[in-house]
Structure 1
Amino acid sequence: MRCLLIDDDIPTVEALLRIVDWNDYGIAETAFAYNVQDAMRLFEADRPDLIVCDIEMPRGSGLDMIKWVREREYDGGFIFFTCHESFEFASTAISYNADAYLVKPIDKTKLEAALRKAVDALKQNRLLDEYSRLGLTWIKNKEWVERNFWRDVLTEAISPRADLIASEIRKRELPLSADGDYVLFLAGVPRSQAEERWDGSILLYALSNLGSEVLFDRVNHDRVIPYQTESAFYIAVILEGTSDAERLKELGGRLIGLCGQYLKCTATCYVAETVAIAGLSRARERLEQLDASNIIFRGKVHLEKVPFRYDTSDRYALDMDRFSLLFVQGEKVPIVNGLKKELERLAEQNKLDPATLHSIREDFLQVVYSLLLRNHIQAHRLFADEAILQLSQQAESSVFDFMKWAQAMTDKTIDSVRETLKSEGVVDKAKRFIHENYKRELNREDVAAHVYLTADYLAKVFKAETGIAIKEYLNECRINEAKRLLLESKASVSEIALETGFDTLSYFSTVFKKLTGETPNAYRAKHKPQL
């Protein structure tokens, strides 16, 4: 698929190109324009599948653009974003079938959700159009049509209004009632527990079939909808009629048992209150939120209206002095084991609610940051790698996720402090970095970032060990390479200056003469072997 980005603000376009992994949405090509006129020319040359457009631009607005493309029977996706919330803008956008209306500054999570919704709707509409074009009847594809209908209801691809849902039922010729009662049953497995063992698509297929067999006594039922979020794999099951709580708890228990037996994963099930069909999407959101707040009641069946029962009579506080001492002593195993025992004890006493887990995390981070500060290590650089960031995002989902994060933080912190305390090792690492990167623009902040130290602290350690400043050492590396090139290559002095990392020839000549006592030309003339 192809996407067209339109915004008169060049940094915004560059940010959109950079922060979104377009291939994840099946978008292989992204074009961009900085005004509506250029966008129209690009549109006529090659129609995009999706348009992401600013509303307020000086040479024609985004509303002008959507009116123009819809007049040309364009049925692709269209996402708006703007600096100002405006009911008039929003209502006009909706009237022209815009998929989403986002307010700047752009929230990456909301943007990705809007993209996913727009692309999914586009794919589904095109599939339906294709089936219609080929003349296939709905009877032959009944299960496919009904499953996609329920998916559209759950994701609000169909607006959660009874009249619009009834219209879609008639359009798709489904034997359903828009006025009936429905119960949503949700079963989920945390990503952190499943991804090390399963490919996501295979797990969803297996979970879907197990759920279908348990709840409908057959596989691949059209009311079992598999999907995934950033934190979990889910199946949503739509049941007709009012809730039989005891029966559903029995079936949920059976499904949990089968997941443990065959998938080696702990599933957790949730049952929503009875709702009309238009309330199913909100019920899904509520059950997902319930699952996100479930820290210690996994592997059970939960009814939406029955709250988790935590004992919060005594608030827990982490023994920060104890853990600070263990960090100073570099005791990785006692830190992790001690933290694990504390969490298990709190869980057994029903005291580990989300607020308590969050406070433990904050106290643990305070211990870590305090140690890093005393050792002049910058935390935001030390913990910048993708693995740590992902673990950090999931840390409060469960005790299992928390311990994975705490283990990684402990290892990274203690290893870094140990390396820092060995100043010789740090200086050697800084030297290697300089030797490997002297050809590019480099300063002491770049070198300090590589060894996770502040620039001032590294400069002091470096000068104490080598007797010279980082800048002087960098220049020595560059001049040594320049001397070799002057003698072994036919490159001009200007070319050698650029090749060895100097911005200008004059600065190169000044530094060269300072360190060698000769100009570059004089050095070449005096020392180059005569052939």
Structure 2
Amino acid sequence: MYNLLIVDDEPLAVRGVKSAVNWDELGISDVFTAYNAEQAKNVFGSHFIDIMLCDIEMPEDSGLDLLSWVREHYPKTETIFLTCHADFSFARQAIQLGSLDYLLKPLPPEDLENVMNKAIGKIRKERELAQYGRSWVQHHPLFIERFWLDIVNLVIPANLSAIQKAMEERKISYPIEMSVLPVLIHVQRWHKSLTLRDEKILEYGLKKAAAETLQNLQLDVQMLSLDRNELLAVLMIPNDYSLNINEIKNNLRTYVSSCYPYFYCDLACYVGDRVLMERLPEMVRQLLTMQKNNVAYYNEVFLRGEQPRISTPAAMPDMKLWLVMLVKGAYEQVILEVQQFMNKTVQHSEIDVSFMHQFHHDFMQIVYFVLREKGIQAHKLFQDSRSIELSAGAGRSVVDMLNWIHHIVMKTMDYIQDVEQSHSVADKVRTFITKHFDQDLSREQIANQFYLHPDYLDRLLKKEIGVSMKEYMLQERLRISQELLSKTDMPVTEVATYVGMNNLSYFTKVFRKYIGLNPSDFRKRG
């Protein structure tokens, strides 16, 4: 809503203007009045005035004099002049002083409405521009970051004309011929258990530290967050700047060495080539490929195009010996053997993500074979969130692979030892059935609770207690049914439902078969 001030030395004229239109419909919330310039100035002193509707010809100070004062003290107020004389000199002076329009008395209401709408439209537009300007100043760093992210992610097409157009539209100014140098910073692992919020806080610290380190090169640096645990520094390089790649590498080594004690992480930096802005997306993709294939080294700085330290491709191990050792129960020895193999391979061969992927699957295969031989359903045993998380990250690095192997081997060992103490498993199964006797559980559902194959679990139970899972479930239902019939007055139908046998005729038939009496006779005898 807007405020209006009507200034005229004729009270009748003021009342006439006030009643000429519906001010609320125009968006005018308050209409103030004054009969000379001095009163008008007092109104300005106590209220914010958006629009002044002012007569030019007034005693003492004229409307033109008042407009000159308003322009100096309240430049955002829009002024519309009223006069009885169509004198061009008045109109010219009013326009020179910044009057929005010039109306002749008497005022047709439609003319007054039109000029008021014109004034309100102008004020609204200027407020929007001012708000945009404040937003731009406040959020300018975010707009700049969004610009570079849009280049990297090809939201802005990878050509100089598209980049230049985007800069013009976003009011961003960079020399179009400027070159850039990207540095990918990848957090390989955190050495503390962190919430997502903790990670974000540490990531912010990593960005600030990287920016300060690289600004020592006297270059502008834009820090970007690409993905979780992935940061990108874009160094903006003037054409006349002599780039010293070794100086950049040394600065980054200092940064990397400080990240473990201050930010509790291992990371690696990947330095790209100096390229024009249009080639930035391609260069970032190359750095991401380098990062993906670095599974052996951390807390180091790598230059794009550097030759691998070792050119001999890594060979997959023969895992037959490890399989035999797992079958024989030498679990800790297997872990040690894998560690020694990985350490030797890193020292003498080139390991990449493809090698890690194959190693992961081959090792999983021998573990699954051992578990199958023991009757254990591996996909059930390893469905917990920790196992899933470690398995998903195993291929990222040698360290992650060894963590996953230690977890999977020890979990396998613990459960196999538990199963091999068959009486322990049998006790657990009996306890589970006793707790869930009222549910319609199949053999498969019961076996799944213990990660075992149903046939294998049946054999264990028969060995320990002489009956299968199904038979033990039936025994429990009949035992509880007898207690309820003997010790309560529950109707037979409710007893049958309580023990999970909703069909009364079937319950009666089974009860008679195993107990020798139907439920009602059993209760009478009791």
Structure 2 length normalisation: TM-score?
0.67
| 3-state SS of 2:415 partner | helix
Pairing 1:247–2:243 present = no
Q: Distance in 1 between matches of 2:319 and 2:441?
A: 43
Check conservation: 2:183, 2:234, Cα contact below 8 A: yes
Shift in CA distance, 493/149, structure 1 to aligned 2, threshold 3 Å: farther
Alignment of 1:312-327 (within 5 A): 312=312, 315-321=315-321, 323-327=322-326
Cα pair 2:423 2:464 within 8 Å, conserved? yes
Once the two structures are superposed, what CA deviation does each residue of 1:150-186 show, in whole Å capped at 9, x if it has no partner? Answer: 2343345555565554443223211234554222111
CA distances 1:20-47 after superposition (whole Å, capped 9, x unpaired) = xxxxxxxxxxxxxxxxxxxxxxxxxxxx
Q: 1:185 maps to what in 2?
A: 183
**Quick one: structure 1 residues 228 and 503, their matched pair in 2 at CA, closer, same or farther if it must change by over 3 Å?**
farther
Q: Which amino acid aligns with 1:215?
A: L
Contact 2:292 2:353 survives alignment (8 Å): no
| SS at structure 2 position matched to 1:305 | coil
Match of 2:230 in 1: 234
Name 2:288's counterpart in structure 1: 288
Structure 1 residue 389 displacement after superposition: 1.3
Deviations 1:442-500 (A, max 9, x none): 01111222222211121122223222221111122223333344455565444443332
Instruction: Check if 1:169 corresponds to 2:188.
Output: no
Runs of at least 5 residues in structure 1 that lack an aligned partner in the other structure: 1-129
- SS of 2:416 mapped into structure 1: helix
- In structure 2, distance between residues paired with 1:489 and 1:312: 79
| Aligned: 1:467 with 2:466 | yes
Offset of residue 427 of structure 1: 1.4
Residue 298 of structure 1 corresponds to which residue in structure 2?
298
Q: Which amino acid aligns with 1:334?
A: Q
Distance 2:161 2:435 in 1: 66
Asked whether the 8 Å contact 1:147–1:222 carries over to 2, the reply is no
Look up the match of 2:144: 146
- Equivalent position of 2:431 in the other structure: 432
Task: Give 1:397-408 correspondences, 5 Å limit.
Answer: 397-408=396-407
How far, CA to CA, are the matches of 2:492 and 2:318 in structure 1? 63
1:348 matched residue in structure 2: 347
Residue 256 of structure 1 deviates from its aligned partner by 0.8
Distance in 1 between residues matched to 2:506 and 2:154, nearest whole Å = 63
Give the 3-state SS of the residue equivalent to 2:294 in structure 1: coil
CA distance in 2, matches of 1:477, 1:174: 78
Give, in whole Å, the separation in 1 of the partners of 2:483 and 2:168.
81
* AA partner of residue 347 (structure 1): V
In the other structure, the counterpart of 1:450 is 449
Shift of the alpha carbon at 1:214? 0.3
**Aligned partners of 1:143 and 1:222 also within 8 Å:** no
Aligned to 1:136: 134
2:171 partner amino acid: E
The code of the aligned residue for 2:271 comes to V
For 1:277, the aligned partner's letter is M
Matches of 2:193 and 2:282, distance apart in 1: 28
Check the 8 A contact 1:187/1:234 in 2, yes or no. yes
| Cα displacement (A) at 1:255 | 1.3
Given the superposition, is the C-alpha separation of residues 390 and 462 from structure 1 closer, same or farther in structure 2, using an over 3 Å criterion? same
For residue 184 of structure 1, give the secondary structure of its aligned residue in structure 2: strand
Worse-matched range after superposition: 487-496 or 510-519: 487-496
Query: What is the SS of the residue equivalent to 1:410?
Result: helix
**Contact 2:319 2:363 (8 Å CA) reproduced:** no
- The residue number in structure 2 matching 1:519 is 518
CA pair 412-136 structure 1, distance change in 2 beyond 3 A: same
* Number of positions where the alignment pairs a residue of Structure 1 with one of Structure 2: 392
Report the 3-state secondary structure (helix = DSSP H, G, I; strand = E; otherwise coil) of the residue aligned with 1:453: coil
Structure 1 segments of 4+ aligned residues over 6 angstroms from their partners: none
Cα distance in 2, alignment partners of residues 504 and 165 from structure 1: 75
Q: How does 1:42-441 map to 2 (within 5 A)?
A: 136-156=134-154, 158=156, 160=158, 162-178=160-176, 180-191=178-189, 193=191, 195=193, 199-217=198-216, 223-229=222-228, 233-241=229-237, 244-312=244-312, 315-321=315-321, 323-441=322-440
- Is the contact made by 2:481 and 2:495 (CA closer than 8 Å) also made in structure 1? yes
1:320 alignment partner AA: K
Amino acid at match of 1:308: P
User: Unaligned 5+ residue runs, structure 2?
Assistant: 1-127
Which residue identity does 1:235 align to in structure 2? L
C-alpha distance in 2 between matches for 1:463 and 1:168: 76
1:195 and 1:186, CA in 2 relative to 1: closer, same or farther beyond 3 A?
farther
- Cα distance change of structure 1 residues 473 and 238 upon mapping to structure 2, 3 Å threshold: same
Distance 1:150 1:497 in 2: 70
> Quick check: 2:184–2:230 contact (8 Å CA) kept in 1?
yes
Structure 2 CA distance for aligned equivalents of residues 442 and 158 of structure 1? 58
Contact 1:184/1:271 (8 A) holds in 2: yes
The alignment partner of 2:134 has SS state of: coil
| Aligned alpha-carbon RMSD (Å) | 3.0
Residues 202-231 of structure 1, C-alpha deviations (whole Å, 9 max, x = no match): 22011111101101259xx871123533xx
C-alpha distance in 2, partners of 1:470/1:445?
10
Residue identity opposite 1:406 in structure 2: I
- Relative to structure 2, which stretch is displaced further, 304-313 or 433-442? 304-313
Change over 3 Å in CA distance of 1:471–1:212 after alignment to 2:
same
Task: Tell me which amino acid in the other structure corresponds to 2:431.
Answer: R
State the distance in 2 between where 1:302 and 1:216 align: 19
Work out the CA distance in 2 between the residues paired with 1:304 and 1:492: 81
Counterpart code for 2:289: Q
